Amino acid sequence: MDAAAQPTPDYPRTTRTTPTRRADRARYDSATVHAILDAEFVCHLGFVADGAPVVLPTLYARVDRRLYLHGSTGSRPMRTIDGERVCVTVTIPDGIVLARAAMHHSVNYRSVVAHGIAHRVTDPAERAVALDALVDQVAPGRSADCRPANAKEHAMTAVLRLDLDEVSAKVRTGAVADEPEDLELPHWAGVIPVRRTLGAPVPDGALAAGTPLPGYLSHRA
């Protein structure tokens, strides 16, 4: 997709969200950004601790123009980055691109990078929304079909909020991009699609007899 055909941006471009290479793959429209975020549930949270960079995988959920991340109240990010600058990334691989030339091997992907200040969520109403969203991000509909956290569990769980103000997506689609002089080389070239599939639910060994499979999981059976 060339720049003229891209959707109208509604996230502002900044120096941090403008790629220095292949800027034509960047997207700033909320439809693209939100669709990528909604398709995943694991992100990578980057921050600086004791003067050194740290990147940790964690669960997340999007609610409107906010990301919520959760963890133990004893974990390093939850203890140290309230009010600090962070970077959150989400990447979805869609295909392995095998070219005739080693230089042109690539990956089709969709990704989002969000920059901003992380804030610890302390308001009980907002925490309730965030925790339900985190459960539903993994299995939509699950938050209404499990026991809510009790006071002790709430005390053990911290939630961070990152407002989606400085954010961009980057997308690579399409075929091999070999040089014209390499097209006759005797090497297979093409795209291997990458798809994540969810297996059939496996019931817990202690599940009470007769407990039905919830409707929101029935399509996975």
pLDDT higher than threshold 70 for residue 6: no
Q: How far apart are CA 55 and CA 112, in angstroms?
A: 15
Residue 210 covered by a domain: no
> What are the two backbone dihedrals, phi and then psi, of residue 18, each rounded to the nearest 5 degrees?
-105, 110
Per-residue b/e over 102-140, b at no fewer than 16 CB within 10 Å?
eeeebebbbbbbbbbebbebeeeeebbbbbbbbbbbebe
Residue 198 covered by a domain: no
pLDDT-derived band at 78, boundaries 50, 70, 90: confident
Cβ contact 11:167 at 8 Å: yes
Q: How far apart are CA 114 and CA 169, in angstroms?
A: 9
Residue 76 covered by a domain: yes
Give the 3-state secondary structure of 73-132: CCCHHHHHCCCCEEEEEEEEEEEEEECCCHHHCEEEEEEEEEEEEEEECCCHHHHHHHHH
pLDDT higher than threshold 90 for residue 7: no
Domain extent, residue 57, equals 3-193
Q: How far apart are CA 135 and CA 156, in angstroms?
A: 16
**pLDDT tens per residue across span 94-142:** 999 999 999 999 999 999 999 999 999 999 999 999 999 999 999 999 9
Structural domain count of the chain = 1
Nearest alpha-carbon partner for 62 in 19, 16, 112, 14 = 112
Contacts of 147 (CB under 8 A, 6+ apart): none
What is the separation of C-alpha 154 from the centre of its chain, rounded to a whole number of angstroms? 24
Residue 206 covered by a domain: no
Report, as an integer, the average pLDDT of 50-74: 92
**From the CA atom positions of the chain, what is the Rg in Å?**
21
**pLDDT tens per residue across span 130-186:** 999 999 999 999 999 999 999 999 889 999 999 999 999 999 999 999 999 999 999
Residue 205 covered by a domain: no
Give the tokens for residue 34.
């939100």
Residue 70 covered by a domain: yes
Residue 124 covered by a domain: yes
Cα separation values, 20 from 50, 125, 166, 210, 212, Å: 28, 41, 16, 57, 52
> What are the two backbone dihedrals, phi and then psi, of residue 71, each rounded to the nearest 5 degrees?
-175, 180
Contacts of 129 (CB under 8 A, 6+ apart): 63
CATH of the domain at 85: 2.30.110.10
Residue 189 covered by a domain: yes
In the Cβ-directed half-sphere of 83, how many Cα atoms lie within 13 Å?
Answer: 2
Task: Give, in degrees to the nearest 5, the angle at Cα 73 between 69 and 75.
Answer: 80
DSSP, collapsed to helix, strand or coil, labels residue 61 as strand
